[in-house]
């Protein structure tokens, strides 16, 4: 997409699926407005504004009552846009920050007090794993003192390379977008098997976001991505949360967020399973205050 073009659909379809009260969209971003929150100079992505007001309107349309906003590389380590949205969210919006591995304890404590429940690191290349994995692992005892978790964006083939970080982390590890596996390879592929192996560590150790069916699939109906998400939901129901990934930066197309909600009817076919993934699991992980 061209620089500064919107990456989100302002009029997604209204879902046919009614979500449970306090359903949580556990993976979104906010961008800008650029006049207040400039892009990080190192970011190669220059999307159009996706401000908090648009996010709040989307959630009203979709029937979503809670949300976790994840800091993006678009704004780098400047977490102010997310913090601003959290402050305006009336207790229903929390965050995950982007920080360097050597972030000072004072900054971590400030973020935790502002409503950030975890920190995110990107491991999209083998070089990033070799350079940063040990430093991120060393950070996790400091996260534990603040009840913050570790969130990882991982390119599928690197899931095995990060086994030590995942297994030895002092805090729960949340894996983004189903590990960005290639859904066309099916559930028997080594990358998906590695993701499942991590999840067998248990709900106190590893969780997964059932987001990104539109990223891991090349099909227009996302059927193979939905299949993998449904397998994870059935096998690890206490370890799954879900998100739209709005506003869909750095993507091949603009998904319809209403269609992503409706896909939950196939990912989590029963009302009880949807309640667990959309309400109970996010409540336990993110510690929303009572409504």
Strand partners, 120: 98, 151
User: Which H or E element spans position 93?
Assistant: strand 93-98
pTM of the model: 0.96
pLDDT in the model for residue 44:
83
Structure tokens at 159: 């899931």
Cα(176)–Cα(48) distance, rounded to whole angstroms? Answer: 23
pLDDT in the model for residue 276:
98
CA 28 from centroid of its chain's CA atoms: 7
Cα(22)–Cα(273) distance, rounded to whole angstroms? Answer: 14
Helices 105-113 and 126-144: angle between axes, nearest 10 degrees? 70
* Among 2, 245, 256, 262, the one annotated catalytic: 245
Q: Specify whether 245 is catalytic.
A: yes
Tell which residue, 198, 189, 187, has the closest CA to residue 161: 198
* CB-count burial class (<10 Å; 0-12, 13-18, 19+) for 290: exposed
pLDDT in the model for residue 1:
41
CB 241 within 8 A of CB 277: yes
User: From start to end of 131-260, where are the E strands?
Assistant: 149-154, 173-175, 206-209, 240-241
CATH numbers and ranges of domains, the chain: 24-286 (3.20.20.140)
For each of the chain's 291 residues, which pLDDT tens digit applies?
Answer: 445 678 999 999 999 999 999 999 999 999 989 889 999 988 888 898 999 999 999 999 999 999 999 999 999 999 999 999 999 999 999 999 999 999 999 999 999 999 999 999 999 999 999 999 999 999 999 999 999 999 999 999 999 999 999 999 999 999 999 999 999 999 999 999 999 999 999 889 999 999 999 999 999 999 999 999 999 999 999 999 999 999 998 898 999 999 999 999 999 999 999 999 999 999 999 999 987
Write the CA distances from 189 to 89, 157, 159, 196, 207, integer angstroms: 40, 10, 12, 11, 20
CB 154 within 8 A of CB 191: no
The dihedral over CA atoms of 12, 182, 281, 253, expressed in degrees to the nearest 10, equals -20
Structure tokens at 35: 């006049």
Cα(136)–Cα(121) distance, rounded to whole angstroms? Answer: 8
């Amino acid at each position: 997409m061209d620089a500064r073009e919107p990456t989100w659909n302002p009029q997604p379809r209204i879902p046919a699926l009614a979500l449970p009260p306090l359903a949580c969209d556990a993976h979104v971003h906010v961008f800008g407005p650029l006049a207040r929150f400039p892009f990080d100079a190192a970011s190669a992505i220059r999307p159009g504004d996706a401000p908090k007001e648009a996010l709040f309107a989307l959630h009203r349309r979709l029937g979503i009552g809670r949300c976790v906003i994840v800091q993006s590389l678009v704004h780098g380590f400047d977490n102010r846009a997310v913090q601003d949205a959290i402050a305006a969210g009336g207790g229903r919006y929390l965050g995950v920050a982007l920080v360097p591995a050597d972030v000072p304890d004072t900054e971590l404590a400030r973020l935790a007090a502002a409503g950030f429940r975890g920190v995110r690191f990107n491991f999209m290349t083998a070089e990033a794993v070799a350079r940063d994995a040990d430093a991120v692992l060393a950070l996790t005892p400091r996260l534990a003192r603040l009840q913050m978790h570790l969130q990882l964006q991982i390119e599928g083939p690197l899931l095995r390379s990060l086994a030590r970080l995942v297994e030895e982390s002092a805090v729960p590890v949340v894996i983004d977008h189903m590990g960005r596996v290639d859904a066309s390879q099916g559930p028997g592929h080594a990358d998906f098997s590695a993701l499942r192996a991590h999840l067998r560590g248990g709900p106190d150790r590893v969780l997964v976001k059932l987001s990104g069916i539109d990223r891991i699939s090349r099909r227009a109906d996302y059927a193979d991505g939905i299949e993998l998400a449904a397998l994870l939901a059935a096998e690890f129901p206490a370890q799954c949360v879900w998100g739209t990934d709005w506003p869909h930066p750095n993507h091949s197309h603009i998904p319809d967020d209403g269609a992503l909600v409706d896909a939950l009817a196939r990912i989590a076919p029963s009302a009880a399973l949807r309640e667990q993934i959309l309400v109970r699991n996010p409540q336990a992980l993110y510690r929303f205050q009572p409504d």
